Amino acid sequence: MRNSRGAAESVPARTATHKPALFGRLLDYWPYVVGFLGMFAAWHVIATWFFVSVLFPPPLPVLRKAAELIANGELPINVWVSLKRILAGFALGSLIGVVIGLLVGSFRTFQRLLDPVVETLRFIPAVAMITVAVIWFGIGEVAKIFIIVYGTVFIVIISTAAGVASIPPNKARAALSLGATPVQLFLFVTLPATVPFILTGMRLAMANAFTTIVAAELVAANQGIGTLLWQSRLYMQVDTVFVVLLTLAVLGFVVDRCFRWAIFTFAHHYSPAN
Amino acid sequence: MALATFSKVSKVYRPTHGRPYVAVSDFDLQVEPEEFFCLLGPSGCGKTTVLNMLAGFEMPSDGAITLAGKPVRGPGSDRAVVFQGDDSLFGWLSALENVEFGMRMRHVPALERRARAHHYLALVGLDGQEHKYPQQLSGGMKQRIQIARVLANDPTMLLMDEPFAALDAQTRLSMQEQVRQIAGASHKPFFFITHDIDEAIALGTRIGVMKAGPASTLKALISVGLGEKRERADPEYLRVYREVHQMIREEVLKGANRSTRESRAGHA
């Protein structure tokens, strides 16, 4: 009897995880590779034939300059300083955002209390807060971390609270009638059901943090990728300016891919629909 | 003595805008131990409201509901609920972990709860699917997880809110068959909501037919004098079917008349 039932109800498509050989998978990604190469090719063609200027270097000199800056340690140290600021501010901001977001999403009173605060402060761009941060904290690390926290917190609050609000009521009802206490309901249902929203909010906030840190370092810092950008502009080192821009693009891409990978690996069962 | 008792239960919804809506009014019922009670009625008649109040998800506006003599104050593990859709399953847990959930909340030791979960998954025919996640399984399999999940938690009473309404006809028949066997073996009372007359007769030992809403209440109680085997050709099956069908027809017509009258009044 079980056989007939199994045959009637089996779901083949989603459960099969067929992995082709490494070479085959790389072949699947050829449009990606072509896309990247095409970008550089276009840059090369424009800078060598159409818009020839010392102010717009083609990719090869820029890459040579990048190799030089990596070899003498200037690029890695500045990238590392900026990354540390981003990670510290981002981690702290996400933590605060998740806690407040869970409270706002779970309790109506909290939502009403904090709504005016969140819905007004979030419209002050983190970049605008640089002025205040410098006045309050000077040009040290605290100012930068403050700005990153500021830029992260509201995005994470809003997506976390939205995640809590979107949990189907039947999930909570099922948990309660299976014997869960309110605390268990929070820990074992609300929290895991909100994870995909939290991660999505954090991913958006991370992109934001990159923008913010460059702006903050342009204005007030002794080290960091934004500082490197600003100083090379002062000395008209156009190659270095382009190295920094390229670095930002690559860094952002890599960090975002890491995030996507983490979401896919750790949270692909945490689909909000289920 | 009755296990669950509704006495003069009413439920009024008071929206912030608009008129209050009386869903259920003066509802009286006693659910006996070991019976399979089917609550049947036209759609929108307040069946789910009745179940939600018994489950403790909603409080009655008036009247009292008791379970084993004690008033119902909220949800509890003595009344397990199988929901209509699959949105009550925990998508981040495997089938096995879903079934273990209630026991985990009640601190049943890991080995024991794993063994029980395996037992009930096998009972509903899901052995071999333990480590799949709900979204990897079909609609029928998801409802089986829900059923295993409530059975493993050993409740006093099982409440089911149209659990098979979204399934295809073949799966529904096989699920009904299985639930009847499980109910017979478990000696626990079932409180089963459906709008399908055949389903009510195939499962129930007693059927309660509700009037059309609003302010709905029980229209009649019918005992089903059928044993384990339930054949459609059985004269008793046909008798119950005709009786219930006639009642539902009356209520559906009444409801339709009422709504045309209301829409006319609204236009005037």
ipTM: 0.89
CA dist., res. A8 & res. B188, Å (int): 30
Chain B residues touching A189 at Cβ < 8 A: 90
**Residue contact A179–B89, C-beta within 8 A:** no
Query: What was the pLDDT predicted at B166?
Result: 85
CA A24 from chain centre, in angstroms, equals 30
Query: What was the pLDDT predicted at B43?
Result: 79
Range of the domain at A258: 79-274
Query: What was the pLDDT predicted at B44?
Result: 79
**Residue contact B75–A176, C-beta within 8 A:** yes
CATH of domain B4-78+155-267: 3.40.50.300
* C-alpha torsion sign, points B174, B176, B182, B184: negative
Instruction: Judge if pTM exceeds 0.90.
Output: no
Tell me the shortest Cα–Cα distance from A94 to chain B, in angstroms. Answer: 22
Query: What was the pLDDT predicted at B96?
Result: 95
* C-alpha torsion sign, points B190, B194, B199, B201: positive
Q: How many independent structural domains does chain A possess?
A: 1
CA dist., res. B247 & res. B234, Å (int): 20
* Mean pLDDT, range A10-31, rounded to an integer: 62
Query: Is A221 part of any domain?
Result: yes
Query: Is A132 part of any domain?
Result: yes
3-class state of residue B22 by DSSP: strand
Query: Is A143 part of any domain?
Result: yes
Query: Is A1 part of any domain?
Result: no
Q: Which residue from A170, A171, A269 is facing B133, i.e. has the nearest CB?
A: A269
Confidence check: pLDDT of A1 > 50: no
Query: Is A47 part of any domain?
Result: no
CA A237 from chain centre, in angstroms, equals 30
A187-203 pLDDT, tens digit each: 999 999 998 899 889 99
**Residue contact A179–B56, C-beta within 8 A:** no
* Mean pLDDT, range A227-252, rounded to an integer: 92
Q: Indicate the pLDDT class of residue A2, thresholds 50, 70 and 90.
A: very low
Query: Is A86 part of any domain?
Result: yes
**Residue contact A270–B92, C-beta within 8 A:** yes
Query: Is A88 part of any domain?
Result: yes
B81-91 pLDDT, tens digit each: 999 988 999 99
Chain B residue whose CA is closest to A187:
B105
Query: Is A25 part of any domain?
Result: no
Supply angle C-alpha B52, B56, B60, rounded to 5: 75
Listed by start position, the domains of chain B span: 4-78+155-267
Chain A residue whose CA is closest to B140:
A9
Report the percentage of chain A scoring pLDDT > 70: 89
* Enclosing H/E stretch for B24: strand B21-31
| CATH code, domain carrying A142 | 1.10.3720.10
